[in-house]
A and B are shown apart, each in its own frame.
Chain A
Amino acid sequence: MRGLLARRMKFHLLGAFLVSLGCATLYKFAVAEPRKRAYAEFYKNYDPMKDFEAMKAAGVFESAPAK
C-alpha cells in the first residue's frame, strides 16, 4: 500500500498523455490529412477554363452572360 497513490498517479498520468496523443493523432489522420489530400486532388487536374465555361453556360455570371 506504500506509495499507492504515487504509483497509480504515474500510471494514469502516462495513460492520460497517451489518450490525448491518440486523440490528436486520430484527428490528424481522420480529418486534417484527408482535407489536405482532397484539396491536392482537386487542384491536380483542375481546368479553370472548363469550369468557367460550364458556369457561364449555366448563366450564373453577371459579367459573362450565357449566349
Chain B
Amino acid sequence: MANHSQFGFQDASSPIMEELMQFHDHALMVALAICSLVLYLLAHMLSEKLSSSTVNAQEIELVWTILPAMVLVMLALPSLRILYMMDEINEPDLTLKAIGHQWYWTYEYTDLKDLTFDSYMTPTADLPLGHFRLLEVDHRVIVPTNSTVRVIVTADDVLHSWAVPSLGVKTDAIPGRLNQTSFLTPRPGIYYGQCSEICGANHSFMPIVVEAVPLANFENWSSLSSS
C-alpha cells in the first residue's frame, strides 16, 4: 500500500510493474528535457530586446518538425514493447474470476473444485490493531508465488475496475463482458488495491487484497477451503 504523502509508485511486485516503472522514468526524462528546453527558451525570449525580421525560416521549421517526431518515436517504441509484453500468451498456472458487485468482489477459483467466496471491506470499527483502514477485507485473494495467475474480470451490475498497483494490474469490470489480465509475483506478501471505476456510494469501500504465498501453502489453503 502507499504511505502517507507518497508521491511515486508503490514498490513493484511483478516483472511487468518493474518494466512500467522503468518506462515511466524514461517518459518523465523526455518530459523533463522538453520542459527545460521550453523554459530556457521562454526565459530567453522574455528577456531579449532584439526583434526579428525573418521571412524565410525553412531550416528551423524542418528542425522543429523532425526533432519532435524523433522524440515521439523514442516514446512509442518502449511503450509498444511493454504493451505487447503484457499481452503475451503465457500459459497461466491458475485462473480465477473476479466479479464486481455493489460494493464487494466475488472470487471464483473454478480450477479448484469450485471454490467461491465474497470479499467485503473490513469496517473500520472491526479493524484489528495494525491493519490498514479502508484497505483490509474479510477474505483475501490467495495466489501462489512464481506462478502466472490469470484473472478474468467482470461485473454483475455497474462498471467496476480490479486494480492492484504494485502488481501493475488494472482491468475494467464490465457487465456482460469478460476482460482478462495476468500477473506473476516472485515475492510472497500482501498487495492492496482499490476499485478503480466509480460505481456508486461505496466505490471507495470495496478494496482488493492479494495474498501471495508459496505454492505448497496455496495448495494447503485451497484444499482446506474447498472441503
Answer yes or no: do A and B interact: yes
CB pair A61–B145 under 8 Å, yes or no, is: no
The verdict on A48 contacting B188 (CB below 8 Å), with A5-B51, A32-B22, A63-B221 known, is yes
Q: In whole angstroms, what is the CA distance A61 to B51 when docked?
A: 70
- Report the minimal beta-carbon distance from A55 to chain B, rounded to whole angstroms: 7
Q: What 1/0 mask marks residues of chain A from 39 to 67 whose CB sits below 8 Å from any chain B CB?
A: 10001001011011001000011111000
CB pair B21–A20 under 8 Å, yes or no, is: no
Is B197 on the interface with A (CB-CB < 8 A)?
no
List A contacts of B30 (CB < 8 A): 24
List B contacts of A37 (CB < 8 A): none
CB pair B190–A60 under 8 Å, yes or no, is: yes
The verdict on A55 contacting B37 (CB below 8 Å), with A62-B142, A63-B211 known, is no
CB pair B188–A51 under 8 Å, yes or no, is: yes
The verdict on A35 contacting B188 (CB below 8 Å), with A20-B37, A48-B214, A61-B211 known, is no
- Give residues of chain A (1-16) contacting chain B, Cβ–Cβ below 8 Å: 4-5, 8, 12-13, 15-16
Q: In whole angstroms, what is the CA distance A61 to B189 when docked?
A: 8
Main SS class of interface, A: helix
Q: In whole angstroms, what is the CA distance A28 to B22 when docked?
A: 10
CB pair B50–A32 under 8 Å, yes or no, is: no
CB pair A20–B187 under 8 Å, yes or no, is: no
Q: In whole angstroms, what is the CA distance A2 to B28 when docked?
A: 40
CB pair B188–A63 under 8 Å, yes or no, is: no
CB pair B221–A64 under 8 Å, yes or no, is: yes
List A contacts of B188 (CB < 8 A): 48, 51-52, 55
Q: In whole angstroms, what is the CA distance A8 to B218 when docked?
A: 68
List B contacts of A62 (CB < 8 A): 139-140, 142, 211
List A contacts of B50 (CB < 8 A): 4-5, 8
Q: Which residues of B contact A (CB under 8 A)?
A: 12, 18, 21-22, 25-26, 28-30, 32-34, 36-37, 40-41, 44, 48, 50-52, 139-140, 142, 145-146, 186-190, 211, 213-214, 217-218, 220-221
Task: Please name 7 pairs of A and B residues whose Cβ atoms are closer than 8 Å in the assembled complex, sorted by A.
Answer: A5-B50, A8-B50, A17-B37, A23-B32, A49-B214, A52-B213, A63-B218
Q: Which 3 A-B pairs have the closest CB atoms?
A: A63-B221, A20-B37, A32-B25
